[in-house]
Amino acid sequence: MLKSNFTGETMVFRKDRDGRPPLYSTSIGKKNQDGTYTDGYIGLQFKKGVDIPNKTKVNVTNGWLTFYMSKTEPPRPVWGIFVNEFEFESVADNFEQLDEQAPF
């Protein structure tokens, strides 16, 4: 069986949705033969109650590759990473934005 552990540093991208929990993802880069890069994105899942600002760098200390089956016909796996434990590395210029959005 293939091990599906995931650890290391990554940047978390956040997409807010009206009245629903945010979606999180990270990017994976691939170098092309011509020297350019192509980025792909993979979903991230966190424990309930975790709230991470957009473009936050984290160090995943305990995570694993997971999937769920799509609702399309035929059903196909949709891959993601479940982040069970992590440490904050940095937040990219989000502190000013958060101050402006504060309700007090």
Chain center to CA of 91: 14
- pTM value is 0.79
Beta strand segments in the chain, E: 5-17, 20-31, 37-46, 56-69, 77-91
CATH topology of domain 5-101: OB fold (Dihydrolipoamide Acetyltransferase, E2P) (2.40.50)
pLDDT tens readout for residues 51-91 = 999 999 999 999 999 999 999 999 999 999 999 999 998 76
